[in-house]
Amino acid sequence: MIIFGIDPGIAVVGYCAMQTEDLECCNLVTWGSIQTEKGQPIARRLFEIHKDLKCLLEEVKPDVVAIEDLYFFKNTKTFVPVLQARGVILMTAEMLDIPVYEYTPLVVKQVLTGYGRASKDEVKDMVCRTLNLSVVPRLDDIIDAAAIAYCHMRHL
């Protein structure tokens, strides 16, 4: 099974695809980010996310998409654009008939670290250890996407 984890955003969408056979072991397929240009109209940025994500999903052919479910957001200025990006991501997965599973940050952290209020550094450390990464992604969005994909694997 290939799980495609997504951390939604308007400026950066982190993604990580992992393959698992037995729920105890997973192999990294790919990871990266979709980045949109600041200053562009929101419609242009949303279209870029859709277009790039569609290409990725068609290439990777995941069995499922796991995405962060936003239940609380600290920065109200970016809340609506992130929700719009999340909507585009959900729509793109639906267009390609890929089932979507949603997990709150609290659940992802609980599954990965055993503590729902874990820090970014604790999540990063556990992602690197769990996936045996020799190279650490520089963007937190990619780390979060890997954590979301791993969370889904543990929920199977």
**Domain containing 38 — which CATH number?**
3.30.420.10
Question: Which DSSP helix (H) or strand (E) runs through 2?
Answer: strand 2-7
Number of structural domains the chain divides into:
1
Q: pLDDT per residue over 12-66, tens digit each?
A: 999 999 999 876 778 999 999 999 999 999 999 999 999 999 999 999 999 999 9
Q: What is the pTM of this model?
A: 0.95
Neighbour count for residue 75 (Cβ, 10 Å) = 7
For 90, the domain range is: 2-155
CA 96 to each of CA 17, 18, 152: distance values in angstroms, whole numbers, following the listed order: 16, 19, 19
- Which positions are catalytic? 7, 68, 141
Helix (H, G, I), strand (E, B) or coil at 26: strand
